[in-house]
Amino acid sequence: MCSAEMRPAPRNLRLHIGLFGRRNVGKSSLLNALTRQQVSIVSPQPGTTTDPVEKPMELVPLGPVLFVDTAGLDDEGTLGEARSGRSRAALDRVDLAILVAERPVGSLRDRASRGHEGPEHPHRGGPQQVRPALLEDPA
């Protein structure tokens, strides 16, 4: 084996990054966008993700990571409670949890994009400009 050949990192040496949030908030879409692959099934039907979906990859500059896509934490019914229970269990296994949330209509970010200033900064006084820091599909 050539020394320049890359070997996969063992699972326990990867940074585990979990995607958590309500049903149909875009966790699976975010995973697909980050990996540039169709790793998770995406559907308008709530509850599409049933079990945690894991995807190992190299993430520059972090190195080897393991993304974990989870079912919605707000799932309902007997089956839904089992799905959300597995998501909560995944929370104990990740090194970094990302909460994926919807942007409400009329949010600060919407107002900032229309030229309005943001909220008062509690320590400096005066309005602060809101700077969007969310991942978005440029299309």
Containing H/E element for 82?
Answer: helix 77-91
Its pTM stands at 0.69
Whether the predicted pLDDT of 129 surpasses 70: no
Instruction: With a cut of 90, say whether residue 104 has pLDDT above it.
Output: no
Same domain for 31 and 77? yes
> What beta strand segments (E) does 44-135 contain?
53-59, 63-69, 96-99
One domain, residues 50 and 89: yes
Q: Are residues 44 and 96 in the same domain?
A: yes
pLDDT value at 14 more than 80: yes
Please classify residue 26 by burial: count the beta carbons closer than 10 Å to its beta carbon, then call 0-12 exposed, 13-18 middle and 19+ buried.
middle
> What average pLDDT is seen over the chain?
79
Residue 5 lies in a domain: no
Residue 29 lies in a domain: yes
Same domain, 47 and 83: yes
Torsion sign across C-alpha atoms 91, 96, 97, 100? negative
Domain count, the chain: 2
Domain that holds residue 34: 11-102
